[in-house]
């Protein structure tokens, strides 16, 4: 079995439902581009070009590619001392299904996976990222900082008139008011400070017979997920039938996220 995803750009309408579903499912922080990090496991490259009325707008959904030859795993120093003698010590590792996962317990927060490993990630996202010039499928939670700063903030937008994030969180009795408190086994519903985080292909869902959240909610069914080695699977049939491409194939990372079709804006 080798799990992968196809994104049909001809079907994608750029609505963002996948990103919202991912954020809700995986409890990622809601301050985008905080500290130069995206914290969007399901993200988009968007840019517009040309001069009105001859303009063109492009949307490209991006996420961790769960590469066969994952450079993030290769550069990860891991934590041999904490793992124990003879035990797997890398914070980034492959599951039997081919998914690239991250173990926060073994992460030392060095950011090498993002900084020098992953060709799909930039260590810091500046203004140029808003026009699709840079992006990152890996995010780093800064050391000694609250990973959910919005819901830890004690300052109200209007003093005496609105509640602060911390007050709402306390009333809800959860770190996030709408926290999805699944029991993830190898995965944690909320990551801590000084560790990286990224898309997991919703491993906690797919190992229980469900689709990744982004796939399940896509209104145009632009995302197809499944076993690429099963000739009867929908993803296998699409890859056999249609011409596909993968991002930065020249890097020889062998991504397991494929794209077919061409994005076209709709009215």
* 40 vs 29: CA distance, rounded Å: 8
- Dihedral of alpha carbons 77, 61, 224, 28, sign: positive
Highest mean pLDDT among 30-39, 122-131, 149-158, 239-248: 239-248
* 89 vs 106: CA distance, rounded Å: 7
Average pLDDT taken over every residue of the chain: 92
* Residue-wise pLDDT tens digits, 178-198: 888 877 666 888 899 999 999
Q: Could you check whether the bond before residue 53 is cis, i.e. omega within 30 degrees of 0? A: yes
Q: Tokens 């069914």 map to which residue? A: 221
* 249 vs 61: CA distance, rounded Å: 16
Q: Look at residue 254 and tell me if it is in a domain.
A: yes
Q: Look at residue 265 and tell me if it is in a domain.
A: no
Q: Look at residue 267 and tell me if it is in a domain.
A: no
- What's the pLDDT score for residue 50? 85
Q: Look at residue 113 and tell me if it is in a domain.
A: yes
- Strand partners of residue 55: 50
* 221 vs 131: CA distance, rounded Å: 26
Gyration radius (Cα) of the chain, Å: 19
Q: Could you check whether the bond before residue 146 is cis, i.e. omega within 30 degrees of 0? A: no
The answer, yes or no, to whether residue 155 has pLDDT greater than 60, is yes
Domain count, the chain: 1
DSSP-derived 3-state class of residue 8: strand
Given its phi and psi angles, is residue 173 left (phi above 0), alpha (psi -120 to 50 degrees) or beta?
left
* Residue-wise pLDDT tens digits, 159-179: 888 999 999 999 999 989 988
Range of the domain at 254: 3-260
Q: Tokens 């066969």 map to which residue? A: 68
Q: Tokens 């993030």 map to which residue? A: 72
- What's the pLDDT score for residue 182? 78
Percent of the chain with pLDDT over 90: 75
Q: Look at residue 266 and tell me if it is in a domain.
A: no
Q: Tokens 């079709």 map to which residue? A: 261
* CATH number of 105's domain: 3.30.70.20
- What's the pLDDT score for residue 204? 92
Judged by average pLDDT, the poorest of 4-8, 129-133, 229-233 is 129-133
Q: Look at residue 164 and tell me if it is in a domain.
A: yes
> Average pLDDT, stretch 73-83?
96
The answer, yes or no, to whether residue 267 has pLDDT greater than 70, is no
């Amino acid at each position: 079995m080798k799990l992968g995803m196809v994104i049909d750009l001809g079907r994608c309408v750029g609505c963002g439902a996948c990103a919202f579903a991912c954020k809700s499912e995986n409890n990622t922080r809601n301050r985008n581009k905080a500290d130069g990090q995206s914290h969007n496991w399901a993200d988009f490259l968007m840019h517009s070009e040309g001069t009105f009325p001859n303009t063109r707008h492009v949307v490209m959904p991006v996420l961790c590619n769960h590469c066969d030859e994952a450079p993030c795993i290769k550069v990860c120093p891991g934590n041999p001392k904490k793992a124990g003698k003879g035990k797997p010590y890398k914070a980034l590792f492959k599951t039997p299904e081919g998914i690239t996962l991250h173990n926060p317990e073994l992460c030392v927060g060095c950011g090498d996976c993002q900084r020098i490993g992953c060709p799909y990630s930039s260590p810091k996202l500046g203004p140029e990222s808003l026009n699709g010039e840079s992006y990152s499928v890996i995010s780093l939670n800064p050391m000694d900082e609250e990973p959910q700063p919005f819901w830890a903030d004690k300052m109200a937008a209007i003093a005496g008139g609105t509640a602060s994030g911390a007050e709402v969180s306390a009333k809800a009795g959860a770190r996030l008011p709408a926290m999805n408190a699944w029991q993830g086994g190898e995965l944690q519903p909320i990551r801590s400070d000084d560790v990286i985080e990224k898309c997991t292909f919703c491993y906690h869902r797919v190992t229980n017979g469900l689709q990744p959240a982004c796939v399940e909610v896509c209104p145009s069914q632009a995302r197809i997920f499944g076993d690429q080695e099963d000739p009867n699977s929908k993803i296998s049939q699409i890859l056999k039938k249609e011409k596909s491409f993968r991002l930065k194939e020249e890097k020889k990372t062998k991504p397991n996220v494929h794209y077919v079709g061409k994005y076209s804006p709709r009215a």
